[in-house]
Amino acid sequence: MFTPMTRTLPGVPRRAAMKVAASAIAGALAGRSLPLRAQTAGATPADAPVFGARLATLANGLTVVSLESRRAPVAAQMVWYKVGSADEPQGLSGMAHFLEHLMFRGTPSVPAGQFSRRVARVGGNDNAFTSFDYTAYHQQVARESLPLIMAMEADRMQSILLDPATIDTERGVILEERRQVIDNVPRARFREQFNATSYINHPYGRPVIGFEHEIRTIPRDALAAFHASHYAPNNAILLLSGAISAEEAVRLADQHYGAIPAKAIASRTRPMEPLPVAERRLSLRDPRAAEPSVSRGWLAPSFVSAGLLPDGTRHALALEVAAHVLGGGPGSRLYAALVETGLSTGTGAWYTGEAVDPTDFGVAATCRQGTEPAKLEAALDAALAKFLEEGASEAETTRAIRQMTEGAIFARDSLMGGARVVGAALAVGMSLESVETWPAQIRGVTAAQVTEAARAVLARPAVTGWLLPQPAA
């Protein structure tokens, strides 16, 4: 949660939001709804809540979370909608991201382009991002300007302008964005294909930004219906962080958002991914790729979805530790087996536990110049087999947990950091308590649990993908 992601390799197929690298959200067992433990004078840093967040719910269903910090007279607002690209109808990929763009193109009260201009005029900044499971909008301003941005955000929650000419213009912007961040980037093209191979039935296999041919045909009526169906206070989480008390946060939230009526929100109904029964392989050749890189991924439970494993969510914390044991930099299993032996220039591992549905666990490595891909893959196979046979040791489990938690005490230093972590967790169905107590819970993970979780997931059929340089003509 608080340390850099281990997914740092060129070939790692991150299931991430467009425009932003989603934080690695860590938490406790899914579905818990425990009261937030108060920090007392006698609490030790290990026992204290990480953020000290306060949660309330307005009469219209809006969840309000405050993270007070008086380090500077500034404040941030984030509004998270519990809808993302995985909630799009079949054939309309990219619609959630398309709507995110259009949210900046004006309302009857705030003309097109004026939202960001007004934020900038008071010295602030704003942006937004879309992921598989949520869409979020955020601003940072001086404390006295917080009512301004809350009023504008509440305004576009209720209505936006969907002028056909504006939609066509923005469609062109998004198509150009896709060319820049996907089509012209070999590693991104590979990630898109890897995801599509990993999920044969679930919408996590579709790109967040959408497929080009579908972006071109998304109609205005579908965009309007998507906003009307999902943008409502009872489907949103408002986070206010910075120089604002919990009491004032609730008062301002009620003032600006309280009159917005709740809507009937349909439950998320997504096709589920079946258990894999066969190994899958893919390769992508691109003349712009420097060195061959390999990625391997497995279907895994998330913090809130069992992933077709009995009681699978109980493995989530242990899978976070397993990813660090395998690929958490120097000292990890794959680093020792592949980098220190001279076969690879870098290795890594990832586990995307912050997901509504079954997710992925994976490893990756890049060939050192002169290393044959088959030799690197054989060494990767051997390292994984050895890990599953031996299990995680007490020493490497302790090392991984120490490295993962040592940054927790600095987690509140960032105005937006805590809001991103808490917001993403709540948006996928995790509890606030699970975020606040993450360091203590991750410290409770044992080597035996890491081994059990790894064997439960990595013993399944995997997807193996290679990004390869184009051979010389």
Residue pLDDT, tens place only, 392-418: 999 999 999 999 998 776 766 788 989
DSSP string, 69-128: --SSSEEEEEEEES--GGGSPTT-TTHHHHHHHHTTS--SSS-TTHHHHHHHHTT-EEEE
Residue 21 has pLDDT above 60, yes or no: no
For residue 310, what pLDDT is reported?
Answer: 84
Amino acid (1-letter code) at residue 13: P
Q: How many CA atoms lie within 13 A of 306 on its CB side?
A: 5
For residue 45, what pLDDT is reported?
Answer: 55
Residue 304 has pLDDT above 70, yes or no: yes
Please, which pLDDT band fits residue 470 given cuts at 50, 70 and 90?
confident
For residue 406, what pLDDT is reported?
Answer: 85
Residue 126 has pLDDT above 90, yes or no: yes
Domains, in order of start, for the chain: 54-257 (3.30.830.10), 280-410+435-469 (3.30.830.10)
> Mean of the pLDDT values across residues 92-102?
98
pTM: 0.90
Q: Does residue 296 sit in helix, strand or coil?
A: strand
For residue 168, what pLDDT is reported?
Answer: 97
For residue 6, what pLDDT is reported?
Answer: 30
Please, which pLDDT band fits residue 343 given cuts at 50, 70 and 90?
very high
Residue 36 has pLDDT above 90, yes or no: no
Sign of the C-alpha dihedral, residues 335, 435, 244, 157?
Answer: positive
Q: CB-based burial of residue 305 (10 Å sphere; 0-12 exposed, 13-18 middle, 19+ buried)?
A: buried
Please, which pLDDT band fits residue 471 given cuts at 50, 70 and 90?
confident
DSSP string, 122-188: TT-EEEEEE-SS-EEEEEEEEGGGHHHHHHHHHHHHH-----HHHHHHHHHHHHHHHIIIIIT-HHH
Query: Known catalytic residues?
Result: 100
Tell me the per-residue pLDDT of 202-235, one tens digit each, with 9 for 90 and over. Answer: 999 999 999 999 999 999 999 999 999 999 999 9
For residue 29, what pLDDT is reported?
Answer: 22
Higher pLDDT, 312 or 156: 156
For residue 413, what pLDDT is reported?
Answer: 74
Q: At what angle do helices 146-158 and 246-257 cross, to 10 degrees?
A: 40
> Mean of the pLDDT values across residues 2-18?
34
